[in-house]
Amino acid sequence: MNFDLTEDQALLKAAVERFVSDSYGGDLEARRAARITPAGFSTANWARLAESGILALPVSAANGGLGGGRVELAACMEALGRGLVAEPVLDAAIIPGKLLDGAGATAPLDPLMAGTTLVALAHAEREARYNLAHVGTTARAKGDKVVIDGIKSAVLAGGTADVLIVSARLSGGTRDRDGIGFFQVPANAPGVDRRSYRLADGSVAAEIALRGVEVAASAQLAEGLDTLTPAVATARLAAAAEMLGLMTLLFDNTLSFVKTRTQFGQSLGSFQVIQHRMTDAYVLVEQARSQVVRAALTPAEDFARAAAGAKAFVAEAALTVAHTAVQMHGGMGITDELVIGHALKRIRVLALTFGDATAALDDYRRAA
């Protein structure tokens, strides 16, 4: 079977790689400068991503997007991961874009794809423990409006989001799969209390409290957890592909380091134990690549299960490769002076997106 990218797919990936080269060029200073901004990323780079169409990748052509498939998505996210890009493509484009596209909500999609409005999904809650059906936030009708009350945790890209997609319970118990609605809420609406904080990789997330927040009844985008499921599966594939890019970056940098770093009068790479560790890391990188490709090519009816399995495997493999890279570099491997520490921290955040490896494997098992 031919796993090579088509001409169009290769051109799309090359465009992402040009963006990485032009915006970052392998220079950590550019990444540091982007991370210390209040948003945690470069707004100029975000505009460039919008111009290139990357923000429109997960949106169907019927809704004005590129209508990219899973292979295109994986190829682009791998390139962004290898470039250690600071912009929240996964958090503020793929997740909300896929959710809005599936709900048929075209109005908020246009500014999202144009890069002029930052949209974030506010779904997770402290007591949920990665259970997507756990929604304690409530939504009750009040005339032609809806009143939302609740607290959302770990809202990725929520620190500077302009619009929130808030899940709230319309009926049923806290962990019922039915009775969950999704609402478009302006982040500056009265009653929205946002506390921003930095994640391990320097990105900006938020704890968001909604106290009597009133929105129009028309702000409801969709009802039912099935609206979220495709977005979760797509996000898991995207996270796995980004981690694959990070693994490749870590491996290449570490291989170059052990070839040139001398100890006891010879290069580190000449020691057999180092060769064994690097061989193990290489195998994990290639196994992770196989998992990403397999998930991207899986038929639609099995995609959610394949994406969960891929993310579970790649997350564990990426952490192992990252820890190996840190050990090979010694104490400086964990500092901000090298890409190793930056990549490790990003992998840790991605590994927990929509559940850790155990949670992803539970979804994989249930779908069997």
Q: Let me know if residue 167 belongs to a domain.
A: yes
Band (1; pLDDT cuts 50, 70, 90): low
Amino acid in position 48: R
Of 83, 107, 96, nearest in space to 21 by CA: 83
User: Same domain, yes or no, for 67 and 21?
Assistant: yes
The number of domains in the chain is 3
- Do 150 and 185 belong together in one domain? yes
Domain end call among 94, 117, 140: 117
Taking only the tens place, the pLDDT of each residue in 245-291 is 999 999 999 999 999 988 888 888 888 999 999 999 999 999 999 99
Same structural domain, 307 and 219: no
List the CATH number of the domain containing 156.
2.40.110.10
User: Which pLDDT score is estimated for 269?
Assistant: 83
- Span 72-89, average pLDDT: 96
- Classify residue 2: in a domain, yes or no: no
269 and 282 both lie in a single domain: yes
Asked whether residue 37 falls in the same domain as residue 54, the answer is yes
Q: For residue 1, is it within any domain?
A: no
Count CB atoms within 10 A of the CB of residue 335.
12
Same domain, yes or no, for 111 and 32?
A: yes
- Asked whether residue 104 is domain-assigned, the answer is yes
CATH, residue 251: 1.20.140.10
Same structural domain for residues 256 and 217? no
Q: Where are the alpha helices (DSSP H) in the chain?
A: 7-23, 28-35, 43-52, 70-82, 89, 95-103, 109-114, 229-260, 272-297, 303-329, 339-351, 357-366
**Cα(6)–Cα(3) distance, integer angstroms:** 9
Last residue of a domain, one of 181, 196, 223: 223
Domain boundary among 181, 203, 223: 223
Q: What is the per-residue pLDDT across 167-223, written as a single tens digit (0 to 9) for each?
A: 999 999 999 999 999 999 999 999 999 999 999 999 999 999 999 999 999 999 999
pLDDT in tens, 99-127: 999 998 888 899 999 999 999 999 999 99
What is the span of the domain harbouring residue 290?
A: 229-366
Q: What is the CATH number of the domain that holds 39?
A: 1.10.540.10
- Tell whether 76 and 13 lie within a shared domain: yes
Kindly state whether residues 106 and 37 are assigned to the same domain. Answer: yes
**pLDDT for 301-354, tens place per residue?**
999 999 999 999 999 999 999 999 999 998 888 888 899 999 999 999 999 999
Are 50 and 145 within one domain?
A: no
Q: Which tens digit of pLDDT belongs to each residue from 7-64?
A: 889 999 999 999 999 999 877 999 999 999 999 999 999 999 999 999 999 999 999 9
Let me know if residue 136 belongs to a domain. Answer: yes
